[in-house]
Each structure stands twice: as structure tokens, then as C-alpha cells.
A and B are shown apart, each in its own frame.
Chain A
């Protein structure tokens, strides 16, 4: 089954403790992206990647890092999480950087930073 898998689905942690949210897709997609969803703000893009070893900042990259060493994986790293990063995070992928291909979304990761 074609899917985008995020782990963990839920995480409660404390300020400053480094964490990584993994994202993996099994569709051989070149394009991957991370979003955060906050009430009343919709989805905002954090980072995206057009292909392996190619990443770019989205609209809200501060406090986040990403890497794209393999095509299937696109982890989101919070080096020193803060409470304002408490949010619902979605990973997405599509067949190419050409956005006319639909993005496939994971089921989300809910992070709570205390």
C-alpha cells in the first residue's frame, strides 16, 4: 500500500531535549515536505526537499533541521525544542518537484513541548 509513515504519532517532551520525527514514503517520490498545523493558521511549510541531498526552507524553518540522505526518508529534527513548537506536524511526498502532482500526506505527529 502506498503510504507516508510518520513516527511517533504522539510525543510529549520537555524544552531543550533534542527530538527527531521520522518520515518515510514507499512510493519512490522525489519531493518531500514538512508542515506544521496550528489552530486558525492552517498548514505552514517548514522545509521541503526536491530530491536527495536537496533541501530548502519553507515559510517557518526557524528551530528545525532536516536531512535527505535517502530518497525514502526525510526526518525532521528539533535540536532544542521550545513550547512554541507544540503543534501537529505533517510529512508529505509527491512524484516530483513539479507541484501538479498531488502530495500524499502522512497521518500526522502531535508534539507537545512542556
Chain B
């Protein structure tokens, strides 16, 4: 069975500092990987996704993530955070089926709360 582990439940950082939010997954088959962000009292927005190709994926708001198959990781990074990046971040995975589609069920990690302080 596939699963997603977000290693840090909370990450406090100062404004303009770099940040890395860690995500590891387990799966016996190929996967698609995603990072979503949830601002207070809102739904989730897609930050970025890895489907295939380049292992370094760039997303919105200056975020990027690197897929590492050997370490089964998909860590999210930003070189300089802003107060407005304060939110909860979710890593998610889904199985890749033979024809290129997916099973349709997205497995989420438990989330990492990023708190950016001035």
C-alpha cells in the first residue's frame, strides 16, 4: 500500500530565510507526486506536481521540489520565504497505472504547518 510521510508537523522560520519541507512516500509502483498549500479557512491549491521527466519541478509562488526515486522523497523548497507563505502544506501521491492514468485516489500526508515570522 502506498503512504506519504511528512517528517515535520510544524516548521517555524524567519522571513527571507530558506525553507525545506520534507516528504517521503512508499509505493511498490510508479507514482505521481504533488504538493498542495492550504491557507487559513480555505481549500487546497496545487503548488506543483511531478509526473515524469525532469526531477526538479518548479511551481507557483517561487516553490520547487525535487523528486528523488532512490530515496523515495519529494521535498519542497523555497530559497526565501515571505510572511504570506504561512500556511499548511500537504504532500500527496497517487499510483500510476499502466496506461498512464491513475487509480483516482489521492493519498495525502498529514501536513506541515509553515510559520513565517518577521
Are A42 and B106 within 8 A (Cβ)? no
Mark each residue of chain B from 48 to 80: 1 if its CB lies under 8 Å from any CB of chain A, else 0: 010100000000000000000000000000000
Determine the distance from Cα of A34 to Cα of B106 in the docked complex, in whole angstroms: 11
Total count of chain A residues near the partner, CB < 8 A: 27
Chain A residues with CB under 8 A of B105: 33, 45, 48, 56, 58-59
Q: Is A105 an interface residue (CB 8 A)?
A: yes
Interface residues of A in 39-94 (CB under 8 A from B): 40-45, 48, 50, 56, 58-59, 90, 92
Are A40 and B9 within 8 A (Cβ)? yes
Q: Which of the residues A31, A43, A107 comes within 8 Å of B42, measured between beta carbons?
A: A107
Decide yes or no: A90 and B44 within 8 Å by CB, A40-B9, A100-B49, A100-B51 being known contacts: yes
Decide yes or no: A42 and B43 within 8 Å by CB, A48-B104, A99-B104 being known contacts: no
Decide yes or no: A42 and B110 within 8 Å by CB, A48-B104, A48-B105, A98-B102 being known contacts: yes
Q: Is B26 an interface residue (CB 8 A)?
A: no
Are A108 and B43 within 8 A (Cβ)? yes
Decide yes or no: A42 and B101 within 8 Å by CB, A99-B106, A100-B51 being known contacts: no
Chain A residues with CB under 8 A of B32: 99-100
Decide yes or no: A97 and B104 within 8 Å by CB, A42-B109, A42-B110 being known contacts: yes
Q: Is B90 an interface residue (CB 8 A)?
A: yes
Are A43 and B90 within 8 A (Cβ)? yes
Distance between B76 CB and nearest chain A CB, rounded to angstroms: 15
Chain B residues with CB under 8 A of A100: 32, 49, 51, 102
Chain B residues with CB under 8 A of A21: none
Are A40 and B110 within 8 A (Cβ)? yes
Q: Is B107 an interface residue (CB 8 A)?
A: yes
In order of increasing CB-CB distance, the 9 nearest A-B pairs are A105-B43, A99-B102, A42-B110, A102-B46, A43-B108, A42-B108, A105-B44, A98-B101, A99-B94
Chain B residues at the A interface, C-beta cutoff of 8 Å: 4, 6, 9, 32, 41-46, 49, 51, 90, 92, 94, 100-102, 104-111
Chain A residues at the B interface, C-beta cutoff of 8 Å: 4, 31, 33, 35, 40-45, 48, 50, 56, 58-59, 90, 92, 97-100, 102-103, 105-108
